[in-house]
Chains A and B, each alone.
Chain A
Amino acid sequence: MIGYTVSRLLQAIPILFLVSLFAFGMIYLIPGDAATVIGGPEASAADLEEIRQNMGLNEPFYLQITSFYTNLFQGDLGKSLMLGTPVLDAIIDRTPITLGISIYSLSITIIFGLVTGIIAALNHNKLLDQIATLFALIGISLPNFWLALILIVLFSVHLGWFPTGGYVAFSESPIGWLKTTTMPAVALALLQAGLLTRITRSTMLEVLSQDYIRTARAKGLSEWVVVGQHALANVMMPVVTVLGLILSVLLSGSIVIEVIYNIPGLGSLMGNAILSRDFPLVQGGLISIAASLLFLNIVVDVLYFWLDPRIRIKSRD
């Protein structure tokens, strides 16, 4: 178990290196003079010079890359151009908000996705299956930022149940938090719930056709135990492995969703950084988000390893 975890962490090192290299290289994608693009049309010569100084664009390439990595190893992701504060601080500041909404959204995803997927599989090719399959398909086909806007029209403008945007911290008012985060969480959950429904359904169908399910029935166990214990225990494992993917999709979505709902989280920070060409912030954000996702994927893999006796015990013996 420990050996497995260590080997997974070691495997992540070259990937992390490439991730940081891509983020670093992003600045060289900018056509022409990077400082002019970053500064925008109104920037004066002095502004541009300051940007160059700040980002080290005047230095020779090898110095730029060595100082980038020296700083990175010291946990220094540079300074945000639009905020004037260290990138890492800005990211750490905003993360809890996004984390809270992500967990909320993930709970909706898991409950909805698992339940619908299982119901669909149990009613294979019947009406309920077709309805669930259709819902899942619509889920993965609707643009979530568009759904976010439609939700605002319906539930804020017409019904007045939720505010059109803004954010209230949970510590300030749990009700306020629920009011401001429910629509974003639902809009975010749609796509992943569709994905999870499809994965759960196909996995469940496969599990239900296995010999050990027939054995469980032949033992006289009730259908509830057969499905709820014997089948579900086997369905959970492949489902756990897609958690990383689901989180990645969720973070993707949070950029535009947080901008739309005006939530001061990591997503809108990244969105605004990109829109205002704040490259140090974009680079830092890309690196820290990719690194956390890599780490989460390792956690998920280790969890899977721990859950599945077939792998766990083989490695112990």
Chain B
Amino acid sequence: MQSHIEIDAVEDEPTGLARFYATARRFMRNRSFAIGAVLFGSVVLVTFLGPLLTDVSPNALSMRNRFQPPSFDNLLGTDNLGRDMFARVIYGAQLSLMIGTSVVILNAIFGVMLGALAGFYARLDNILMRIADALMAFPAVLLAIGIAAALGPSSMTAIIALSVVYVPRTARVVRSSVLVVKELDFVMAARASGATDFRIIMKHVLPNSMAPMIVQLSFVFAYSVLSEAVLSFMGLGAPPTVPSWGILISEGRAYMREAAWLTVVPGVAIAITALGLNLLGDGLRDVLDPRMKVEEG
């Protein structure tokens, strides 16, 4: 087995880059994926390059410049305390992407682990899936804000709450593809030749259940961005001193009449991010496995 991998690696090396381009071209030819990649890519770019474009701190007060509409000096205007909205929205983006990424990573780890265990061991399956059913019986956002209320508001709370909500859903997706893959001939053959369960899961089952999981994770990312905004809007996510997108909307709410951009801008930022991720998910689904069904919601 060891030598087999080495041979693969040797063969791969010269064609690696070419293969990467070929794959990239296949993905970019899918319109959903291409638009999604551009949208989400620009959100990521602005998030990380943004701090270089503006030297203003998101919390710098300027009482003289309160409620400035968008202008050259303040690209997205200023708020009730004269703070620069562009800097604040970019800070919010960092927070949102950080929380989304964390939830996705936790989903990848625990969703795959629990899904693989449930799919592979019928006895565990029953218990794990009943637990998942119970967690999924609660409306997603209600469960998240319930957990967040108990843990107390913080970004960590948001990450934990959203993971508890979405891990069962990811585990279900992984489980159902594991159930299919496990019956395939080459897995049966590996089993017959005496490979351990762990080895079969790592070498055969997981690589072959990757496609639905990747699609699911891109949707989880989108849901996380949206739900985190709800949590922080309700005061259950990031503390109020941190300009997360939900908090920006909640602060802007009081000035909707005179300074609508304070509410509009962070909402549009959320929408663009979620739209990009949803399009990415659709595109991945089309390209990776057109017949696949991912649980929505």
Contact = CB atoms under 8 A, between A and B. Distances in A.
Direct contact of A and B (CB under 8 A): yes
Interface of A: 14-16, 18-19, 21-22, 26-27, 29-31, 37, 137-138, 140-143, 145-147, 149-150, 152-153, 157, 195, 198-199, 242, 245, 248-249, 251-253, 255-256, 259, 270-271, 274-275, 277, 279, 282, 285-286, 289-291, 293-294
B110 to A, nearest CB: 16
Contacts of B270: 142-143, 146
22 contacts: A15-B130, A29-B151, A37-B152, A137-B275, A137-B282, A138-B271, A140-B278, A142-B270, A143-B249, A145-B233, A146-B229, A146-B249, A149-B256, A153-B257, A245-B296, A251-B139, A252-B139, A259-B234, A271-B145, A275-B234, A286-B146, A290-B137
Given A146-B249, A270-B142, A289-B142, A29 B147 contact: yes
Interface residues of B, number: 45
Given A26-B150, A153-B260, A255 B145 contact: yes
B234 A290 contact: no
Contacts of A19: 134, 137-138
A149 B250 CA distance: 10
A141 B209 CA distance: 26
Contact of A149 (B133, B150, B236, B249): B249
Given A18-B134, A143-B267, A274 B151 contact: no
Interface string B136-160: 0111111101110111100000000
B134 A30 contact: no
B34 interface: no
B222 interface: yes
For the complex of A and B, list the 6 residue pairs with the smallest distance between their C-beta atoms, beginning with the closest. Answer: A18-B134, A146-B267, A252-B141, A252-B139, A141-B274, A29-B150
Given A282-B149, A286-B143, A145 B271 contact: no
B138 A289 contact: yes
Given A248-B139, A255-B234, 15 more contacts: A29-B151, A140-B274, A145-B233, A146-B229, A153-B257, A199-B296, A249-B140, A255-B142, A271-B234, A277-B149, A286-B142, A289-B138, A291-B137, A293-B137, A293-B139
